[in-house]
Amino acid sequence: MSKQSSAATPLVTHREFKLLLRPEKFPTRRALLEFNEMLESIASKLGVHYEPVESIDSQLRIVQFYDTKNEDLRRNKLIFRVRQIRQGCWPDDSWELTFKCRAPEYDKAARFDTNTTFTKLQKKKFKEELIRGETPGTMRSIYSNNVIVEYPGIDVGSFPISRLMEALPHLQTLGLDPNETLCVVAGAKVFEIQATLGNFSFGHGVTAHATLALWARPVPDRFEPLVAEFGYSTHVLGTEKEDKAQAAADDFFKALQLPLADWLASGSTKTALIYGDEERVG
């Protein structure tokens, strides 16, 4: 189960299991439905209760990552993401700003102070992210200390990192040049189509929503998927009985990779693909 540290550092609130899948497997909505049917069959064979949703509904999100030209945030295991959700194709009236410290070491992620100057708007999550190891059927952990702020009317162009430092004071302790400019990583604007597939039950009150997110380029007149990610997330309840259920979620994640071996894509996370560095975790 997840590692816990001292009371002075965050405790894991969520355990998020992620598998990158080959994008060409999802050319149409029908392919998504067939994947969900296969997922139900695999879960049944592995003895895990899975209840697909009656009707798959998807939402569109516009995603961009920001960093300096020298990747100063990335080098410090930091990620700044801007995302706008579009419900039924209509854009929300606010943007989701996410800042996270993501690292293989729990203590490194936990030490980062994610407090912002938007105390009434911020929401925090400390996640243990479970990704596959070097071979199918294996698993490794990375830790992600997140703060999310819903903010209206932002300028999505380039801006000095000093503006981010004003909102996130702990950045000022890292020795970064406040005059460096943040701009969109690789100039990439990504369309993310996310669908809720169903719900797993691992016992002792531990459940998980299963989702599939497909990243695509906004290319006129054609659909050009970049990568797909299947995932499910359990909430850490903090009860004595949940360890067995969390272990069942681990075992299922490792076992699921074997029948999906031909579906698995290389790389660790979607963010790493945007940075063009599939080997570096983050």
Quote the pTM value: 0.89
The answer to whether the CB of 15 falls within 8 A of the CB of 206 is no
pLDDT over 90 (residue 3): no
The CATH architecture of the domain made up of 14-274 is Beta Barrel (2.40)
pLDDT over 80 (residue 234): yes
Q: What are phi and psi of 177, to 5 degrees?
A: -75, 115
Q: What are phi and psi of 218, to 5 degrees?
A: -80, 70
The answer to whether the CB of 130 falls within 8 A of the CB of 16 is yes
Closest to 233 in 3D by CA, of 19, 7, 6, 4: 19
Cβ count within 10 A of residue 25: 17
What percentage of residues in the chain have a pLDDT greater than 90?
74
* pLDDT value, residue 130: 97
Note the pLDDT tens digit of each residue in 61-85: 999 999 999 999 999 999 999 998 8
Note the pLDDT tens digit of each residue in 137-183: 999 999 999 999 998 867 778 899 999 999 999 999 999 999 999 99
* Segment 92-120 mean pLDDT: 93
Residue 142's SS3 state is strand
Mean pLDDT of the chain: 90
pLDDT over 60 (residue 280): no
